[in-house]
Amino acid sequence: MLMSRFIGGNSIIAAKKLNIPYKKIYDYVKEGNSKDHKNNHELNVFALKKTKNSIHAIKLTSLYNNNLKKYLDEYHSLSVKNNNKILIDAEDVKNQEMINNYTNHCIKTYNYGIFYKTYQMYRNDSLKLLENDLLKFNNYGIKLVRGAYHNQDKNTGLLHLQKTDTDSDYNDAIRLLSTYKNDVFVATHNKESCEIAISLQRKFKYAQLLGMNDKLSSYLLEKNNDVYKYIPYGKWNDSVPYLTRRLYENYDIMKYIF
């Protein structure tokens, strides 16, 4: 089944059993529909309790409600106990200000390197935001992505009009971060960006999606880098929109899938 190549199963238990040569980032695929926030929160709590020394991605739109800060408090406590880390995913433009605000809250409140902030470099304001945050926050975790919400965001005026501009900002962000000590995930399927990161003689982490560009993942691993695969998990009906968007946004690397 095609889905099984890109989705790690319908639960954290299934995702944990997946046998791959890379480190894992467990990624509960549910986003939006915050009416179901309590159930989404409970699934995140279950995942954090069932794993140790692990990395999890969460999407705040699936959790957004008046209890969100309490949810984040619980994630922090569980992560400290089990030595887990949490990547707060970036999402579409209409939600990103809220996501940035809560991520900043986590960085300022907890300051234990638990929560990582994601920067979408297809936005024309992200490089400047990264520069400002590096001056504002002390040694926090960072994830660099190009962006996966182009269809929703393309008419907002906040995205680069040319892919070359996105690539330029992404690579400039890598060069900028080479002068800082932050823990950084270079999350990309673009080999040129990875080669730039490697050439800087600075220890980055690298991440690609499950089932996509394993050739690049293997290449990075052979060079003794820390290589991660995003392992999406959740109900199949929640996984379909996630997978459809990722395949669309990564159309140029489809040739590396099979």
CATH label of the domain that carries residue 193: 3.20.20.220
| Residue whose token pair is 């890109």 | 6
Q: What is the pLDDT of residues 104-132, one digit of tens each?
A: 999 999 978 999 999 999 999 999 999 99
Q: Which domain holds residue 21?
A: 2-256
What's the pLDDT score for residue 253?
A: 44
Q: Closest Cα partner for 60 from 16, 36, 90, 82?
A: 90
Least confident of 74-83, 100-109, 162-171, 235-244: 235-244
Q: What is the pLDDT of residues 212-254, one digit of tens each?
A: 999 999 999 999 999 999 999 988 777 776 766 666 655 554 4
Region 134-160 average pLDDT: 91
| Residue 257: pLDDT band with limits 50, 70, 90 | very low
Partnered with residue 226 across adjacent β-strands are 205
Partnered with residue 28 across adjacent β-strands are 233
Q: Closest Cα partner for 121 from 154, 163, 58?
A: 163
Q: Cα(119)–Cα(125) distance, rounded to whole angstroms?
A: 10
Q: Cα(256)–Cα(85) distance, rounded to whole angstroms?
A: 29
What's the pLDDT score for residue 77?
A: 97
What is the total count of domains within the chain?
1
